[in-house]
Structure 1
Amino acid sequence: MRHGIRPASRPAVFRDRAAGIPFLTRSTLDSGRTVEWEDGTACPVADVEIPSASHPFRTGTARVLDTAGRVERSGTASARR
């Protein structure tokens, strides 16, 4: 494999805009904005709309929609057409 073709991975902060929860991970993110993390290091920051902390599927608030966009009334898929 060729050396030097991958971008550098470094610590980055992703902030959940809905819940206000920041989390630190490694990323190739190159943002013009930085934030100071709890340990005092400056990390690039990205605001995300729906991360795993507030995603409806992960929090149990997801709703099942049928093909017409209607909300299901029961827990099983509807076979009516």
Structure 2
Amino acid sequence: MKQDQSPDYHPVVFRDRAAGYAFLTRSTATSDRTIEWDDGETYPVVDVEISSESHPFYTGKARTVDTEGRVAAFERRYGGSDTG
């Protein structure tokens, strides 16, 4: 690998606005905004719409879809199924 070809890999705070949660990690992401972290240092902050704190798969709060209710509504609207 060529020297000096690696991207800048540095500490970054990712903030999940939906969950009100932030975490410090290393990334190549950049931002003009900064935040003071718990250790007293200032880091760039990147706002994200969803993270493991707010994603239904990770939180266990997935919506259940009422498929039977949807089928019944469809049949009422369009005349039901012809089975015979």
State the TM-score, normalizing by the size of structure 1.
0.74
CA distance in 2, matches of 1:40, 1:31: 19
- Segments of structure 1 that go 5 or more residues without pairing to the other structure are 65-70, 75-81
CA distance in 2, matches of 1:19, 1:2: 41
Alignment of 1:2-81 (within 5 A): 2-63=2-63, 71=65, 73=67
State the AA in 2 paired with 1:32: D
- Partners of 1:28 and 1:41 in 2: how far apart? 18
Matched residues, number: 68
Structure 1 residue 32: deviation in Å? 0.5
Q: CA deviation at 1:33?
A: 0.5
The alpha-carbon distance between structure 1 residues 61 and 4, as it changes in their structure 2 partners (threshold 3 A), is: same
What amino acid is the match of 2:18? Answer: A
Moved over 4 A (4+): none
Larger Cα-atom Rg: 2
Q: Which runs of 5+ in 2 are unaligned?
A: 69-84
State the distance in 1 between where 2:29 and 2:35 align: 13
Q: Which structure features the higher share of helix residues?
A: 2
